[in-house]
Structure 1
């Protein structure tokens, strides 16, 4: 039995015939040019009548643009799904790109093999630019993007990031210092930190902010280092702090997910929050309002970070000269019941 033929794709010729105008007039409308109001109305009606859909692939080939932007997350797959900040950054970026009729392509890098695959993909002309989240110092993605001269924007600021590549971020050190100072002001005397992701700027800056806030009371033994900003790291970090200092009465957790894990561990240990131990987090993510008590934390504008990163890409694609390499967004403290 012969296979049915796919329906014929409507063309500019079909629109012109249905509207009773020339192909040139149709082309002017499709490309945003000027035509009379009468001709435009006829052409728009004809487009609906013949079911015309623009051939974006041909347009991209002509313009040498894919009209797609990569969203590169350098995180374990499990954390990509578990961390609400990454999801919010991605949604913010996607919203901004959608308004500009650009498609977002998500790429998750967990291993060296992933990095090699993503490097080949970025080199192949499939995307016009890349938004990079969670890059570390000396990350291969920095060299890949620099070598390709690909329009890019980083969320966060690895210390070796080229000055020619723009970034958007927050003042992690200042924000950590502010919320830890609030914790100190509640009268806590043995304050520890569950410090995550010390191989990147956000984790190291939050630790430095904590150290600055506690001053002479800083104790290396009261810093539990964990690899990721996730719930499991909070459980492990809090257990470690309780082993080292059973009399601990304050904790700064490097993220809300970590703080949630720490709260559960304290509850299992029979410690009341905030009566026995005050705890603060970072992000003001969904974790912050799901815990009991709700978390005092720092509000990280995750969606705005993604949107600004996308705008930085779009501005580069339009050939605009960026005024500055980096932007920092505000991060107010949100004080709730956990401290």
Structure 2
């Protein structure tokens, strides 16, 4: 092989090379690469074949400058790092969103907001033009990230429905109705002293699950039977159950506001000699991998986390195409999954 041939083999193929091979203009090649209309199917087929033959790799940085887009979507999770690793729902949301974005040739950038410093850093990052839109998970009312997104007018979709996001797009489940239904199912087993370990009351999901529990117990509601904990975590389930047992040792039913919380509560109940479900029936929420780790397996509400992630990503992509998702407020179904714990 001559030195000229070696240099040519090492040289990166260009749009001009593709155009010469396909027998079309460079402008036609550019329209195909940028997803623009008004190109015949014959020309598209010829260009695709030419790209494969000459080994052309699109320069995404240059394409982004032309389109004024980064081809990246941020998935912001406003949770502690420990919960990001522990909570299977977050992973399922992430996988669902990534699948939809990958199909659309977008990159997903995962951004975790744990501390106030993280929140400030993310607000600066969002203003840098490095992402085209955001999916926001676990936003609180008055969340600084929500405020930053609104200020920058970024295309955004929330997983969940915080009460202060106005007409912003969201995909969610009916946490209140689902909590009411599973609490009623637990009450129907004959339990008389049913309590709740209520987690994450600073966000819509936790507050709505507590409201659904209150709806179900109605006039029998006893505030002493509700123990509030900060996070949807196994350790908070343990702490909450210990405190609730000490205060109300006659409790015979528990609605834990997540499967991880329920698993922690079951660990404490069993260590105290309480038989499940004979002495205490317990139900959770999520139908995550935690539910099947429990012994007996946990009765719970199925949360379609993967579908929520996919729907949120598709919502942001629609906004980027100029299709408004304002006031969409889409809700997905959440069936009860009844197992041996109650």
Aligned to 1:314: 317
> Equivalents in 1 of 2:136, 2:29: separation in Å?
40
Moved more, 317-326 or 203-212: 317-326
Aligned to 1:287: 290
TM-fit CA distance, 1:26: 3.8
Moved more, 301-310 or 44-53: 44-53
Contact 2:168 2:327 (8 Å CA) reproduced = no
Aligned to 1:63: 67
Contact 1:29 1:35 (8 Å CA) reproduced = no
1:203 to 206, 216, 221: 206
TM-fit CA distance, 1:196: 0.2
Aligned to 1:123: 127
Indicate the SS of the match to 2:264.
Answer: helix
Contact 2:253 2:280 (8 Å CA) reproduced = yes
- TM-score (norm. length: structure 1): 0.93
> Equivalents in 2 of 1:42, 1:97: separation in Å?
27
The superposition leaves residues 197-253 of structure 1 with CA deviations (integer Å, 9 ceiling, x where unpaired) of 011111111111111111222111111111100110111111111101112110000
Indicate the SS of the match to 2:76.
Answer: strand
1:278 to 277, 281, 288: 281
2:195 to 184, 192, 197: 192
Aligned to 1:242: 245
Contact 2:168 2:326 (8 Å CA) reproduced = no
Task: Give the root-mean-square deviation of aligned CA atoms.
Answer: 1.9
Aligned to 1:34: 39
Contact 1:298 1:331 (8 Å CA) reproduced = yes
Flag structure 1 segments of 5+ consecutive residues without an equivalent. Answer: none
Indicate the SS of the match to 1:307.
Answer: helix
> Equivalents in 2 of 1:24, 1:74: separation in Å?
44
Contact 1:25 1:35 (8 Å CA) reproduced = no
> Equivalents in 2 of 1:100, 1:335: separation in Å?
37
1:300 to 1:25, Cα distance in 2 relative to 1, 3 A: closer
> Equivalents in 2 of 1:41, 1:314: separation in Å?
26
TM-fit CA distance, 1:20: 5.0
**Aligned 1:6-45 pairs, distance under 5 A:** 7-19=10-22, 21-27=24-30, 29-31=32-34, 33-35=38-40, 37=42, 42-45=46-49
TM-fit CA distance, 1:22: 4.3
Aligned to 2:141: 137
1:50 to 1:199, Cα distance in 2 relative to 1, 3 A: same
The superposition leaves residues 244-285 of structure 1 with CA deviations (integer Å, 9 ceiling, x where unpaired) of 111211000000001011111111001100001000000011
